[in-house]
Structure 1
Amino acid sequence: MTTYESNDRFTPITQTATTYPVLLIDTQAPLPELHACVSERLHATLDYLTLMACTTLRDSASTDLNTVTNVARILVQDVTDLFAVIERRGLED
């Protein structure tokens, strides 16, 4: 079994599907790059949820609502993790 050794440069994105961190945030990436990444995810989430709010779910399968919710949860979790790195960097300066 492989163990994960913490590294100050990379922080894992919160995940629920795996026990080993596979997606990492480069905590030393330039702030404009981190901001662009978080902005992209936040806007995509807002656009996605706006689309879902305007969609009729009459013809959907029983699992569709769970899928929609899970996609939004993953994107919002990514945004939260990225904001945490940006906030830590902002407080260090």
Structure 2
Amino acid sequence: MTNQQPPQRFTPMSQLATDYPVLVIDTNAPLRELHNCVSERLNAVLKYLNLMACTSLPDYAENDINTVTNIALILLRDVSDVFKVIEQRGFDTPNKP
């Protein structure tokens, strides 16, 4: 017999700047709200990267490019973390007859 731990209500988000998780995802949040969170971030980063793709790179210093990359990385990491919760919830839900 295996002892299964109940799923944690809050799961930490990925972070590089801290040793202790300060941002968490409520795994019990309604799927629609989780989807809205993912959609908002994904659409923002897509628009942001599209804007940057239409900008002439010689106009910007290397530091500016690093800033743009870091912003996109943080937003996409958020998207990935929330998608993991959505997927886990979807895969863990038993099929109802």
TM over 0.5: yes
Alignment of 1:1-93 (within 5 A): 8-93=8-93
Matched position secondary structure for 1:90: helix
Q: Tell me how large the CA RMSD over aligned residues is.
A: 1.1
> Deviation digits for residues 12-52 of structure 1, max 9, x if unmatched?
11000000100000000000000000000000010000000
- Structure-1 residue corresponding to 2:4: none
Matched position secondary structure for 2:29: coil
Q: 2:90 & 2:79 partners in 1: Cα distance? A: 16
Deviates more, 1:40-49 or 1:51-60: 51-60
Extract unaligned runs of 5+ from structure 1.
1-6
Matched position secondary structure for 2:62: coil
Task: State the structure with more CA Rg.
Answer: 2
> Deviation digits for residues 36-85 of structure 1, max 9, x if unmatched?
00000000010000000001122212201110111000011000000000
- Structure-2 residue corresponding to 1:3: none
Matched position secondary structure for 1:36: helix
TM-score by length of structure 1 reads 0.90
Q: 1:62 & 1:49 partners in 2: Cα distance? A: 16
Question: What is the number of equivalent residue pairs in this alignment?
Answer: 87
- Structure-2 residue corresponding to 1:4: none
Aligned-residue sequence identity (percent) comes to 64
Deviates more, 1:51-60 or 1:19-28: 51-60
Matched position secondary structure for 2:59: coil
TM-score by length of structure 2 reads 0.86
